[in-house]
A and B are shown apart, each in its own frame.
Chain A
């Protein structure tokens, strides 16, 4: 190793552990010692080799790890709030927009019923209801061909249309019900709560990416941490580096955020009798069963 490289590595290792004045003083001493060794007839390489490993020397010089005061939970949370505030605000805006648009809009809820029908044609019925819950229209199709379509239908006539084909109500394979979206009273809060939670987890992930990048480049600081006088550091108080920051903030928080979001959704799915998870409630969808022969 050349003197210049040795000194450069030593400086880098010292900067993480000692103050700038002490670092400069050590570097001055090292130059003097190497120069004296060279003056005594050693080559630069020999003199540097006899010094030992620069990182090990920096560690020896720093001695026991510097006393570090751990940041209090309050400061950490405050810094975290500062750093995530912009993302959370954006999520909140989205939530308000959703509330404004989502409740007034009319969507459809579809439900499926499957019945035995391994052989013979595929019989489908589509039932549309009005806002009062009355059956507003009924469509019967056999293999895609409409055999019956009536507004405010007469059930007996529907039965007759089926009977003409040698079928009965028993043979209906798929039922699709269409109703004006009536988010039940408790459905709106559920959907909002779900969105809110997901926005929160998204915020975790996005801000994780943000803080990971910033603190990686700024030696463990983000704006919030800087304002609160705390920073992320390695065990010896050294700067954590971009890789570690990205691992800490971005990967872990993103994955944890996505996972916990998924788990919350799973729990909501298990709790919901209708089979609508948070995501279903929010989007007004449901997952239905499709018989094998009706699959397209």
Chain B
């Protein structure tokens, strides 16, 4: 699949995955990889990090119960929810337009 298209879709996927509850890095990467198996974990991590830096997600370090590892959880922010809606609309509009063209 075209790398540019995939890159463009990653923020939408990630925000969608965390829209309801906070998830930790490997969980998110695992879900994205289930759909895009040929994307590097590092690339997904980069997008995740950028979403946090742009304020669409907030991060929190949590110690897992019973002496488990410390993990960074990513939760969506109100800005992130608005951005997710915007991305979804853009995506549907894109689909519609391409359908109209008969692609």
Binding site for B on A (CB under 8 A): 26, 28-30, 32-33, 35-37, 40, 47, 50-53, 56-57, 60-61, 63
Q: Which of A33, A53, A56, A63 contacts B45, CB < 8 Å?
A: A33
User: How many inter-chain residue pairs (CB < 8 Å) link A and B?
Assistant: 53
A–B complex contacts, Cβ < 8 Å, 27 sampled? A29-B25, A29-B45, A29-B72, A30-B45, A32-B24, A32-B25, A32-B26, A32-B69, A32-B70, A33-B26, A33-B45, A36-B25, A36-B71, A37-B41, A40-B30, A47-B41, A50-B40, A50-B41, A51-B42, A52-B40, A52-B41, A53-B42, A56-B42, A57-B40, A57-B45, A61-B49, A63-B50
Contact: B40 with A32, CB < 8 Å? no
The total of chain B residues at the interface (CB under 8 A) is 17
User: Considering only CB atoms, which chain B residue lies closest to A60 in the complex?
Assistant: B46
Closest beta carbon of chain B to A19's beta carbon, Å: 13
**DSSP class of B's interface residues: helix, strand, loop or mixed?**
helix
Q: Which of A37, A53, A57 contacts B46, CB < 8 Å?
A: A57
B95 at the interface (CB under 8 A from A): no
Q: Measured between alpha carbons, how far is A51 from B33 in the docked complex, in Å?
A: 12
B86 at the interface (CB under 8 A from A): no
Closest beta carbon of chain A to B58's beta carbon, Å: 14
Question: Could you tell me which residues of chain B, from 48 to 82, have a CB within 8 Å of some CB in chain A?
Answer: 49-50, 69-72
B29 at the interface (CB under 8 A from A): yes
Contact: B43 with A60, CB < 8 Å? yes
Contact: B25 with A61, CB < 8 Å? no
Task: Given the known inter-chain contacts A26-B49, A29-B72, please indicate yes or no for A37 contacting B26, CB distance below 8 A.
Answer: yes
Chain B residues within 8 Å of A36, by CB: 24-26, 69, 71
Contact: B40 with A40, CB < 8 Å? no
Q: Can you list the 3 inter-chain pairs with the closest CB atoms, starting with the nearest?
A: A52-B40, A36-B26, A52-B42
Closest beta carbon of chain B to A23's beta carbon, Å: 12
Chain A residues within 8 Å of B40, by CB: 50-52, 57
User: Considering only CB atoms, which chain A residue lies closest to B28 in the complex?
Assistant: A33
User: Considering only CB atoms, which chain A residue lies closest to B71 in the complex?
Assistant: A32
Chain A residues within 8 Å of B43, by CB: 52, 57, 60
Contact: A33 with B25, CB < 8 Å? yes
Interface centre among B41, B42, B50 (most CB of A within 10 A): B42
Chain A residues within 8 Å of B45, by CB: 29-30, 33, 51, 57
Chain A residues within 8 Å of B50, by CB: 63
Contact: A51 with B26, CB < 8 Å? no
Closest beta carbon of chain A to B65's beta carbon, Å: 15
Q: Measured between alpha carbons, how far is A56 from B41 in the docked complex, in Å?
A: 12
Q: Measured between alpha carbons, how far is A37 from B46 in the docked complex, in Å?
A: 17
User: Considering only CB atoms, which chain A residue lies closest to B68 in the complex?
Assistant: A39
